[in-house]
Amino acid sequence: MPARKVIKGKDLYRILFFGVIFVVVAIGVFAFWGVRDVRRDAAVFAVESSARGLSGAVTVLVNAVSNANGEIGSEVVESLKPADLRTEFRKIFDRHKALTSVMVADGQGLVYMLTRKPDGLAETVPGQDNDKSVVWTLWKTDGSHVDVGHKTNFDRQSVDKALSEEFRHLMPGQINWRSSYRFHHAGESWVTASSLVQTSKGVGLMVSYVFPIDAVVNQLGGAEKGGAEKVFIFWETGKVLPIHDSRDDKVLGDRASKALPADEVADPVIARASAQLTANSGKRKAPFSYTVNGEVWWAYVLPLSVFGDTMSLGVALPFKNIVSTLTSDTFIQVFGGFLLFMAVCALLLLHRNRARIEAMGMWKQAARTAEDVLKLIAEGESGRLEFKQTLRFNLKAGKNGKEIEHANMKTVAGFMNSEGGTLLVGVADNGVVAGFEEDGLGNDDKALLHFNNLVNQQIGTEFSRYINTTIIEVQGKRVLRAYCTPAAVPAILKNGQNEEFYVRSGPASRQLSLSQFYEWLQNH
């Protein structure tokens, strides 16, 4: 059977000492990372919620115009007669001055388009030939019309491709925003909102409303920002349009509706976010942080398109507005100070009880079984082991004697003033296990009580914590084993009116003179 590994006294103290430090550091690290994760989650939630809230304001714009296409009669859409469509859409144009154009499309592309002009409405119908041309008719405000005829400069092929692609991806109830520069090559000045039309025969057509970007800017400028300090529109081309609060009279009149490259944007927060979005398309998929003038900001762009990201709504929030009380720098500093205070208290407590802790660790080395005792006896007496045949009975005089009790306590004090050791009472000097029955102490409890009383009376009650005692039966005889650990302070032995100081010197306990005791104190 392999020997049992034990933790020595000083090793136990070191383990506890450095264990406290490790635990404090671990708690600090976990707390830091935990707060860091909470902060990040809070920032992500804040910017995402703000962006979604503002996107709702944009959706309100198209709903106000189209009323989810409920204003358009299903029989009108089903017939696809230009006269009926023109009549229906003219009503919408009259009610919504921001609307610029309306397009009707199916799975093949453009079917009908009506566009607001300074002198009327331009009606566009695809040509019947295969040259992908369109027929234009200008309907004036006085009711007259002018047939413009076929126009070949209209890129109908690109328009059909874009509309048919959007039609295939769009689902009922969805509204898809996209930049209309793909249709008209007019830069980022126009945006398109598309939704499917529900007819009696099912979903079969898509209606797209074209707005100038100013309409979206005005809608966002007056919307509740939800904590966002910076709002902007970002295009896949890398251009950006800052959105200012329409309630701010100072910027209302100066607000520009022209999209600009990131390096031309005056606002450093929006410019920095746009530059990162342009340089790294991966940042368009999730919130990200960046620093401007030493301040941390979080930004997020929410694609307004159901598919693709031709146009996105962006928000930016300063990190200081996101963190809560429990995740603020002040809380971290207070928590860190409290943790440090608790660590210092724990270390001081350990240091104050170092001797007791070391004693607890060293007690694990004490003999506990008859086999352990026999092994010790086989080693013979030494600086850390001594045999006494009795605790109080003088075998030569045939009676109890104070000198025997003094001899036992002298050994115990010597062990505590040195490196510790074991006293075996009931073992003769030659190593024979004789037991201590001559002491007449009765049962084990009385024997241990008598030994402890001797320690309390002749050395001091406070030193009992450095001594571990037990009775072990060895070869049919009782042996009192007293295992002593080094004491934190000198153990002075009282002998009547005298006080004596002993240390171990080889297999014996040696009394020190006053000058020797002083030297011992200097060294210990």
Please say if the pLDDT value at position 451 is more than 90: yes
Position 3 scores a pLDDT of 39
Its sign, for the CA torsion 285, 290, 295, 296, is positive
- The encoded tokens of residue 351 equal 């240091």
4 lies in a domain?
no
Position 328 scores a pLDDT of 56
Do 20 and 78 have their domain in common? Answer: no
Give the number of other CB atoms < 10 A from CB of residue 41. 11
Spatial separation of the C-alpha atoms in residues 64 and 159, rounded to whole Å = 25
pTM given for the model: 0.51
Three-class secondary structure of residue 142 per DSSP: coil
In this prediction, residue 308 has a pLDDT band, given cuts at 50, 70 and 90, of low
Do 185 and 293 have their domain in common? Answer: no
pLDDT digits (tens, 9 = 90+) for 106-163: 888 888 888 888 888 888 888 765 556 778 888 887 778 888 766 655 677 778 888 8
Segment 304-320 shows an average pLDDT of 76
416 lies in a domain?
yes
3 lies in a domain?
no
Do 296 and 268 have their domain in common? Answer: yes
Half-sphere exposure of 171 (CA within 13 A, CB side): 4
Task: For residue 195, report the phi and psi dihedrals to the nearest 5 degrees.
Answer: -150, 160
361 lies in a domain?
no
Range of the domain at 113: 70-214
pLDDT digits (tens, 9 = 90+) for 287-299: 898 999 988 888 8
Identity at 232, one-letter amino acid code? F
The top-scoring range by mean pLDDT among 150-159, 241-250, 421-430 is 421-430
CATH code: domain of residue 398: 3.30.950.30
CATH code: domain of residue 135: 3.30.450
pLDDT digits (tens, 9 = 90+) for 48-107: 788 777 777 666 665 655 554 445 555 556 667 888 888 888 888 888 887 888 888 888
Spatial separation of the C-alpha atoms in residues 499 and 206, rounded to whole Å = 109
Residue among 399, 372, 383, 377 at smallest CA distance from 470: 372
Give the number of other CB atoms < 10 A from CB of residue 141. 10
Do 514 and 373 have their domain in common? Answer: yes
- List alpha helices for 104-256, DSSP H: 156-169, 181-184, 213-221, 249-252
Which residues, in sequence order, are bridge partners of residue 399?
Answer: 394
Question: In sequence order, what DSSP letters do the residues of 417-470 get, joined into one string?
Answer: TTT-EEEEETB-TTS-B--SGGG---SHHHHHHHHHHHHHHHT-GGGGGGEEEE
Beta pairing, strands 467-474 & 421-425: unpaired
pLDDT digits (tens, 9 = 90+) for 363-396: 567 778 999 999 999 999 999 899 999 999 999 9
Domain count of the chain? 4
